[in-house]
Amino acid sequence: MKLPVAAVLAFALSAGLVHAEPVRQGDLEIDAAWARASIGTSRPGAAYFTVRNLGDEADRLTGLSSPVSAMPMLHETTVSEGVSRMAHVEAAEIPAGGELTLESGGMHVMLMELTTPLKEGATFPLTLTFESGGEITVEVPVFGPGATGPAE
Partner 1 sequence: MKLTLAQKILWVAAALALVAFAALVWTGGLRTSSSEESAQQAFRPEFRLEDAAGRPVTSEDFRGRYRLVFFGFTNCPDVCPTTLSEVAQVMDGLGSQADRVQPLFLSVDPERDAGAELAEFTSAFHPSILGLAGSPEATQAAAESFKIFFAREDDATAPDGYSMAHASALYLIGPDGDWLRQYEYGMPATDILADLQNRLEGSLP
Q: Which does 133 bind (CB under 5 to 8 A by kind): partner 1, Cu ion, none?
A: none
According to CB under 5 A, which residues from 91 to 120 bind Cu ion? 110
Residue 64 in contact with Cu ion, rule: CB under 5 A: no
State the Cα–Cα distance between residues 79 and 85, nearest whole angstrom.
Answer: 7
State the Cα–Cα distance between residues 9 and 3, nearest whole angstrom.
Answer: 10
State the Cα–Cα distance between residues 131 and 59, nearest whole angstrom.
Answer: 6
Least distance from Cu ion to the Cβ atom of residue 83, Å: 15
Least distance from partner 1 to the Cβ atom of residue 143, Å: 11
Least distance from Cu ion to the Cβ atom of residue 74, Å: 9
Least distance from Cu ion to the Cβ atom of residue 89, Å: 10
State the Cα–Cα distance between residues 33 and 41, nearest whole angstrom.
Answer: 21
Q: Which is nearer to Cu ion, 65 or 132 (CB)?
A: 65
Closest CA to 102 of 35, 59, 49: 49
Angle, CA 57 vertex, CA 54 and CA 58 arms, to 5°? 90
Q: Return residues touching partner 1 (CB under 8 A).
A: 36-40, 42-46, 73, 75, 77, 79, 82-88, 104-105, 108, 110-113, 145-148
**Which residues make up the interface to Cu ion (CB under 5 A)?**
75, 86, 110
